[in-house]
Structure 1
């Protein structure tokens, strides 16, 4: 079996009749099934609660569906006798079907592994497949992926942001238009599956970056060490540039330990003065000293903090993301002028430190995308002294460290969500002097209305009310985007009824969901 799988390293290899079980039928699972069916494989998709549209399409593309309980190995799955199981990212290592496959000696892949193997479906004019760049980190992945793609496009390259950002990598690989570079955002889940790969043609990116590392998804990985090890896979086999965060020692250690292609360089970034292989800041100017012939004596200007501030991009964690994206773009020979031009036209997605309204001197900020303590810490650093709206599903993460580091500097805290008790206890231990308010709303639509009323009661002119929950949203909301939208709607509704003098509503808050 392994010898056959070892030979399947091209779109043009013989995939016919390969028995595959695909776990999950979301957008990723369907992209896997569709690809394999086109290649002639024998595909069984196993899922719990199939999306009706995808279920309707499966027989059309020539795949079979099992829709039922996956808490044990279903008879149709066992009878299919798969040579490989390809799992959607939602299936954790301890899932019964993943354990069964591993214990049975069946190869287990993720969608990224399959995409790498068939990356030569559409070639560049020189006859080679698109370059791959990989982006991960606890926070900032999507923004950095978007920034990188925008910089590459400004430099004249056909770039496709894909992966965890919402567009399956397989869809980008199969796009008949073709690309010069795939900018692949990878979650820790996808990287865990990628780490299982031991074939002769393992993924080897042009450049890679882990932006930062903090507790997250511990319920999926089982421990912080396992989460860290999954993230470290991003650097494996990198050929040109391993980009790391100089202010986050964990990312530097990942690069030091990584098995890379000979000649690959370590490229650092942070908000300090850069060394000769780094990107950083000098007197408010973002500069490159890594991809510059005279990097020992001078630096190349990319943009300035003043220019970024005009675009709402000057928060410290966003500047760090810009430097990381610039490092990847520079590794692909994008000129500094193109990077500057890309930044002039760039706008953050909704629900990422988005000002949704300003009224009576109070600024209302939606950072609902801050779904873990690390992200919320960055947001609180950008808005010191804010009235902090915090809470939700903590996903097994201890919020005490965040409250100890940032909580005492807040003007007040408004606690929402299912895991309120843990947040309240953290404030009692680490920031007892901060006024604390709990929202114990049973109905989703009531939560943000109560939040806004409480905030109006405590915020004064010049204050910021900051939604940076440090937690997932699925206890009370459909998604972080739904949470952010409801916050903005509640703010606008309250402003319409009068918050104070000189009321002026800010921009609307809208946007798509994402994970």
Structure 2
């Protein structure tokens, strides 16, 4: 890539995105230094990419560095990133790097971007399924696991890109063919500092040719109205108006892209319920914005199967279903998960990241038989339950892990109940990630079943 040849780049972070960025920079002719606080990650990077310089724990850019590519989780106030900005060195993310590399291609791929507090991964993988049903060379990438720069260099023609608020913050130039903002609720306030700053980052998905958003939430609808996207499209769980996609007569209906079209029967959408239908509408809107026919939308939704740790029943013991929704890593996601069940023994807790669970408890207390709380911020959830659901029995576990939580939950559950892991919090206080937490839950259920 011409704009990278001869440049001196620093990659901040030796994780998955950092390794991909460093490899792309090297291949484009840049001199690359990588820094990280973990000696193990740096050593692994050195084995994979012997052409990079490895320096642990940098707090200022080395002399001559003229570009910093940061891993998305690094905050702007990180000493290294702050020092780089103060020295006039541009700081971007791996997604922004991929966008600039794509701009130099004679025939760059289309970018269809998905963001929101919840539902991103389901939506972007639904979108991938629809695009492939249309016969397109498409791949889901970004926050879903595959770095965007890898998807770009593999030559795929349509990129279904899941972007977190962190990735959007570090991607100032990205202008997708179409982008969707699913929803906005309190999350990552410890990183962004306020809900407003978090929402501004999310609204970065709405700056392309077509801006799509869930208009049932007035806050999100206002972000859509205020976006610079040349075409604004709403998605709603009600009957759609002109320029919207929604639900009518048991079908997902498109009244935005061409003549009114039935896209799929509500009964054919998996996962079902309001969150799954909203995600399907968003995926359909992005596909339709790219010109995909209604028939391919229907087939893609029929073909789609949700990933692990997203409302999966992992066992049934004594007439009680045990449901793994470890991906519910914030209160907004936990609300959607709880609303899928009438009577719940709720396993929750972890790192709340500055979010409040008061509204969740107030709204969903009527369906809670009991709550078993684990993790660093369990006391905050216990306080919300004591204030807004004082009749709900609560167990706080300082030790015993997931196995102890499942055993405690089983003691409260009755036939017909769901024991639901919907933590409303991140996992890194006790587990490597949400998938590790979900596997621990499933294993504990298997032990319970004998």
1:470 aligns with 2:424: yes
1:151 aligns with 2:151: no
Partner residue in 1 for 2:231: 265
Partner residue in 1 for 2:161: 184
Aligned pairs, number = 448
Partner residue in 1 for 2:114: 135
1:325 aligned to 283, 287, 297, which one? 283
1:250 aligns with 2:219: yes
Contact 1:408/1:433 (CA < 8 Å) preserved in 2? no
How far apart are the structure 2 equivalents of 1:254 and 1:20?
A: 35
Let me know the Cα RMSD of the aligned residues. Answer: 1.6
2:297 aligned to 333, 339, 346, which one? 339
Partner residue in 1 for 2:200: 229
Contact 2:205/2:211 (CA < 8 Å) preserved in 1? no
1:41 aligns with 2:18: no
- Aligned partner of residue 382 in structure 1, secondary structure: coil
Following superposition, the deviation at residue 142 of structure 1 comes to 1.0
Following superposition, the deviation at residue 362 of structure 1 comes to 1.2
Contact 2:342/2:417 (CA < 8 Å) preserved in 1? no
Partner residue in 1 for 2:408: 454
- Aligned partner of residue 119 in structure 1, secondary structure: helix
Partner residue in 2 for 1:509: none
CA distance 1:427–1:14, shift in 2 (3 Å): closer
How far apart are the structure 1 equivalents of 2:92 and 2:429?
A: 31
How far apart are the structure 2 equivalents of 1:252 and 1:104?
A: 39
Structure 1 residues 113-512: aligned runs within 5 Å: 113-119=96-102, 128-175=107-154, 178-195=155-172, 202-236=173-207, 238-239=208-209, 241-260=210-229, 264-293=230-259, 299-308=260-269, 312-441=270-399, 446-496=400-450
CA distance 1:203–1:473, shift in 2 (3 Å): closer
Following superposition, the deviation at residue 283 of structure 1 comes to 2.7
Contact 2:4/2:29 (CA < 8 Å) preserved in 1? yes
Partner residue in 2 for 1:57: 48
Contact 1:271/1:320 (CA < 8 Å) preserved in 2? yes
Deviations 1:448-495 (A, max 9, x none): 222222222221111111110001111112211111111111111111
How far apart are the structure 2 equivalents of 1:112 and 1:477?
A: 27
Contact 1:408/1:434 (CA < 8 Å) preserved in 2? no
Contact 1:159/1:182 (CA < 8 Å) preserved in 2? yes
Higher Cα Rg: structure 1 or 2? 1
How far apart are the structure 2 equivalents of 1:26 and 1:307?
A: 38
1:78 aligns with 2:55: no
- Aligned partner of residue 62 in structure 2, secondary structure: helix
How far apart are the structure 2 equivalents of 1:357 and 1:15?
A: 52
CA distance 1:58–1:485, shift in 2 (3 Å): same
How far apart are the structure 1 equivalents of 2:268 and 2:80?
A: 51
Contact 2:427/2:433 (CA < 8 Å) preserved in 1? yes
Following superposition, the deviation at residue 14 of structure 1 comes to 4.8
Contact 1:353/1:365 (CA < 8 Å) preserved in 2? yes
After the TM superposition, list the runs of 4 or more consecutive aligned residues in structure 1 that deviate by more than 3 angstroms.
Answer: none
How far apart are the structure 2 equivalents of 1:106 and 1:419?
A: 38
1:31 aligns with 2:25: no
- Aligned partner of residue 436 in structure 2, secondary structure: helix
Deviations 1:176-222 (A, max 9, x none): xx222111111111111113xxxxxx332110011110111111112
- Aligned partner of residue 307 in structure 2, secondary structure: coil
Worse-superposed segment, 384-393 or 446-455: 446-455
TM-score, normalised to structure 2's length? 0.96
Partner residue in 2 for 1:5: none
Deviations 1:248-274 (A, max 9, x none): 2222222222223xxx22111121111
How far apart are the structure 2 equivalents of 1:235 and 1:226?
A: 15
Contact 1:147/1:325 (CA < 8 Å) preserved in 2? yes
- Aligned partner of residue 53 in structure 1, secondary structure: helix
- Aligned partner of residue 102 in structure 2, secondary structure: coil
How far apart are the structure 2 equivalents of 1:455 and 1:393?
A: 20
